[in-house]
Amino acid sequence: MIFSSIPFLYYFLPAVILLYFIVPKKMANSVLLLASLFFYGYGEPKMLPVMIMTIIAAWSLGLAIPKHKNCFYLSAAICLGLLVWFKGGFAGNALPAGISFYTFQILSYTIDLRREHIKPQKSLRDFAMYVSLFPQLIAGPIVVYSTVEDSLDPLKRKTTAEDLYEGSCRFVFGLAKKVLLANNLGQFVSIFQNTAADDRSVVFYWAYALAFSMQIYFDFSGYSDMAIGLGRIFGFSFPENFNYPFISKSITEFWRRWHMTLGGWFREYVYIPLGGNRVSRGRWIFNIFVVWALTGLWHGVQWTFLTWGLYFGILLMAEKLWLGRLLDKLPTWAQHLYTVILVVFSMVLFNADTIGDAAACIGAMLGLAGLGTGTGIPFAGALGSYYIKSFGTLFVVSIVASTPICRKLSQFKYANELKPVLVIVLLLLVTAYLVDGSYNPFLYFRF
């Protein structure tokens, strides 16, 4: 089950919200746990036992860690072993949805227990709810245990009328980003991928790369918005995951704005324990490469993901050593252009099946395809131009929506009065789109 579906929007979610608020508060966690297990089992019935057994093992070992530190290593080995087993392809095509997210949440809990930053969660029900909580189970944001520890007590957790309203609005805005923008951008990507190579042009390649970059942004950030909104409805405060990354003026800034909970997790649990930047230059470079190799492999044990991670590691290291000083001397527009181009190249690599495919696509974007063979790729073509014009409005709206312009519009007079009207209109549009059975992929299911 995914958020952007009729069963979730009009059957599952209303039923859960109604039940959650009518039962006694001490039963609220039981409602959320059962709803979360149903939510996961609805789409991944064969993988539900994997998650349940992982939760039970982590909870049991967590109770023992304060007195028996070696239990930490066993718990960590179970989580990391699951990631390697499933994401490394050892289980064939089987891949539990959201495994990268819920194993990292368990790892943060286990590590913080080892550090004695938190106390063990004595309630299996509450721990299981923390790990499996359906709003952020499939696509994050990654919620570190310490940030929601107090909220796990149903008697301490509360939802105000403002939480209900703002949480609902945040959910619908995220839903609209996913369904109205990401899904339609995905259609353009699909059209390009199904177009014969002879009908592609340099401009068409660039349009594809830009479309996919924005598709994955609106897909992932849309889900994060929905998760944050749902969390607020149920009394949780989840961390922000995106902050308009495409307005960045450097790759360093981009990664402070993109998938912030993943970056924060690696910084807290890998980079700093390795010594961060308070070590010799050689060791610091090693730390950078370890973190970004792991960031790439977190997405999947494939050469494309590893290369993608190392690509960013090299760029970030270059900016810290010398490139950043050069960027500061450039006009702001040039800094933005530099960042967007390098990010778009990275997304081509991220979406490619092989490094060779990515190299061929980037080469085509640079007009190098067929160079020296007399069969060079044209700069523009009739078919590419047709599709770009057809999706032109979508591109413009998506570019505008990826900037803080919409946030600034909310500060205008009467914006608060118009907000509920906009939410209703967006929900109706999304519903019509979903009822129509249109293209509705979810990119982050594979993570």
d(CA 229, CA 13): 13
Contact 367, 376 (CB under 8 A): yes
Q: Is the preceding peptide bond at 273 cis, omega within 30 degrees of 0?
A: no
Write the single-letter amino acid at 109. Answer: Y
Q: Give first-to-last CA distance, the chain, whole Å.
A: 15
Contact 27, 38 (CB under 8 A): no
d(CA 437, CA 441): 11
Give every CB contact of residue 148 below 8 A, 6+ residues apart in sequence.
130, 236, 237, 238
Contact 130, 145 (CB under 8 A): yes
Q: What DSSP letter does each residue of 139-186 carry, written as one string?
A: T-----HHHHTGGGSTTT----HHHHHHHHHHHHHHHHIIIIIIHHHH
Catalytic residue among 68, 117, 259, 299: 299
Could you tell me the two tokens for 96? 């539990």
> What DSSP element (H or E) covers 100?
helix 99-114
d(CA 218, CA 225): 10
68 annotated active-site: no
Residues marked active site are found at 299
